[in-house]
């Protein structure tokens, strides 16, 4: 088996990381699981089982059932459904367990955590009948970048210069619109998720650039991946030092067609999906001005800069602009007063109440009353809104305080 490289894939929000993952999936030199996987969360929760590999792999299989059965993906995300039985795969977990134990028990002169990471991926590659004598690159799809600092540091600690990073990004205005639509389709708007994905959009690849100066980092825009897909994938394959294959233009998982995780059935790349994005209202304009004032080079390089909007050079005015709620926060606030949101809280607690048997509440009618619980929950959510609004402001200023990196040499391809 030749030396293995790690390609760590991260993203902001709704920026096409799963699409890129699916394009790389069928290449003969790529080893990957068919979904995102945070290995270091798994390690932190289960490292005490490292000397009991049978129990360890049983826990892995239990935690990652969708790696082995395509039909259950819709249980995790209703939009990520299987639209054709031919797209299904159903692998033997017992076979995977044997393959894992065979890999894990090899006498590698490496640390236990690194051995576990390699054993899991190589066993899955064996399951898919991949040729491990070829040059192999493990695609490690962490997904959203915000809050992943420790996981990113640990993968670099384990594999050092053998780690390369790919960052998927998207116009931040369009990205947050997509997040809002996704929340409406899947459940209802959640202030924590809005804060989280706003922070991802704001930070972009800044943490990678400032923290991993020895590692190669490339950025791909969502827009260029759709608009100039062949050029982008050819540039990427050259950078990864893998042979070009037309499979790099096909969206699959485990070799099976993937039709996306949108409310529409998609078939991979789509040039018509990309349109010029202009702010729709005062709050989106303010969001755009903040991005352009703080990250002018990034916005120009990515093709997101809007020449019709003014820059804010004064720190005082910029501070005031940051205090103004973002468009997503305004949308969240409006939803608090919608019938749909109130009803969703009621349904959630009604269903929860059916199965919750707490003897301490049985004789305390007020606290056992569904309407009272809904009222408390509603007040709690308003408090959370205020908390995450303030946290977003603090996060923005922390990012601004840090050195803004040079993005020019890291971009793979742009459409402008």
The CATH number of residue 23's host domain is 3.40.50
pLDDT of res. 8: 95
pLDDT of res. 140: 96
Domain identity same for 96 and 162: yes
Range of the domain at 232: 4-273
Domain identity same for 233 and 249: yes
Task: Establish if 21 belongs to a structural domain.
Answer: yes
Please count the residues of the chain. Answer: 416
Domain identity same for 260 and 361: no
Task: Establish if 415 belongs to a structural domain.
Answer: no
Reported pTM: 0.87
CA 160, CA 142: separation in Å to the nearest integer? 17
Task: Establish if 416 belongs to a structural domain.
Answer: no
pLDDT of res. 242: 93
Residue given tokens 């600092």 in the structure block: 149
Domain identity same for 219 and 316: no
Domain identity same for 246 and 303: no
pLDDT of res. 138: 96
Domain identity same for 287 and 386: no
Residue given tokens 């759709």 in the structure block: 226
Of 232, 209, 207, nearest in space to 222 by CA: 232
Domain identity same for 286 and 385: no
Strands across the sheet containing 136-144: 30-31, 136-144, 4-11, 163-169, 216-221
pLDDT of res. 267: 64
Rg of the chain (C-alpha set): 23
CB 330 within 8 A of CB 405: no
56: Cβ contacts below 8 Å, ≥ 6 apart:
46, 49, 50, 116
Boundary of a domain, candidates 273, 290, 305? 273
Boundary of a domain, candidates 273, 290, 308? 273
Domain identity same for 221 and 169: yes
pLDDT of res. 134: 80
pLDDT of res. 356: 44
Q: Residue 216: what are its φ and ψ, rounded to 5°? A: -75, 135
Looking at the 3D structure of the chain, how many domains does it have? 3
Show pLDDT as tens, one digit a residue, over the chain (416 residues): 567 899 999 998 889 899 999 999 999 999 999 989 999 999 999 999 999 999 999 999 999 999 999 888 877 777 776 656 677 888 999 999 999 999 999 877 889 999 999 999 999 999 999 988 888 999 999 998 888 889 999 999 999 889 999 999 999 999 999 888 887 776 667 788 888 899 889 888 888 888 888 788 899 999 999 999 999 999 999 999 999 999 999 999 998 888 776 666 666 687 777 888 889 999 999 999 999 988 888 898 898 998 888 877 777 888 899 999 999 999 888 887 777 777 766 666 565 544 444 434 444 444 456 666 667 667 777 888 899 999 999 988 887 777 666 666 677 665 43
CB 370 within 8 A of CB 353: yes
Domain identity same for 352 and 287: no
Domain identity same for 318 and 225: no
Of 198, 191, 216, nearest in space to 284 by CA: 198
CA dihedral over 208, 210, 216, 220, signed as positive or negative: positive
Domain identity same for 237 and 188: yes
Domain identity same for 337 and 386: yes
Q: Hey, how many other C-beta atoms are within 10 angstroms of the C-beta on 53?
A: 17
pLDDT of res. 5: 93
103: Cβ contacts below 8 Å, ≥ 6 apart:
118, 119, 122, 123, 126
Boundary of a domain, candidates 232, 250, 273? 273
């Amino acid at each position: 088996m030749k030396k293995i490289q790690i390609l760590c894939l991260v993203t902001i929000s709704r920026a096409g990381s799963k699409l890129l993952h699916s394009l790389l999936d069928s290449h003969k030199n790529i080893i990957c699981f068919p979904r995102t996987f945070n290995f270091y969360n798994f390690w932190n929760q289960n490292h005490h089982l490292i000397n009991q590999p049978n129990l360890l792999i049983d826990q892995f299989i239990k935690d990652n059932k969708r790696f082995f059965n395509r039909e259950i993906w819709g249980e995790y995300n209703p939009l990520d459904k299987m639209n054709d039985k031919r797209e299904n795969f159903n692998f033997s977990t017992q076979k995977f367990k044997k393959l894992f134990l065979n890999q894990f028990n090899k006498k590698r002169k490496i640390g236990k955590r690194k051995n576990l990471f390699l054993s899991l991926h190589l066993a899955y590659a064996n399951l898919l009948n991949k040729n491990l004598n070829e040059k192999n690159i493990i695609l490690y799809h962490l997904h959203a970048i915000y809050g992943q600092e420790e996981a990113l540091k640990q993968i670099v600690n384990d594999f050092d210069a053998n780690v390369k990073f790919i960052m998927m990004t998207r116009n931040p205005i369009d990205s947050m619109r997509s997040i809002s639509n996704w929340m409406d389709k899947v459940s209802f708007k959640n202030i924590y998720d809005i804060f989280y994905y706003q922070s991802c959009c704001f930070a972009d690849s800044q943490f990678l650039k400032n923290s991993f100066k020895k590692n190669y980092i490339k950025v791909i825009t969502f827009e260029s991946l759709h608009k100039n897909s062949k050029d982008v994938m050819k540039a990427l394959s050259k950078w990864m030092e893998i042979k070009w294959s037309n499979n790099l233009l096909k969206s699959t998982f485990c070799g099976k067609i993937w039709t996306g995780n949108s409310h529409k059935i998609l078939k991979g790349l789509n040039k018509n999906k990309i349109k010029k994005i202009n702010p729709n209202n005062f709050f989106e304009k303010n969001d755009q001005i903040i991005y352009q004032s703080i990250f002018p080079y990034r916005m120009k390089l990515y093709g997101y800069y809007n020449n019709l909007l003014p820059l804010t050079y004064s720190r005082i005015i910029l501070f005031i602009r940051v205090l103004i709620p973002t468009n997503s926060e305004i949308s969240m606030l409006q939803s608090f007063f919608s019938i749909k949101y109130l009803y969703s809280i009621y349904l959630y607690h009604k269903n929860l109440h059916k199965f919750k048997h707490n003897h301490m509440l049985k004789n305390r009618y007020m606290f056992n009353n569904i309407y009272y619980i809904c009222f408390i929950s509603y007040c709690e959510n308003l408090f959370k809104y205020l908390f995450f609004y303030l946290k977003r402001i603090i996060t923005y200023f922390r990012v601004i305080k840090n050195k803004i990196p040079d993005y020019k040499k890291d971009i793979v391809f742009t459409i402008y």
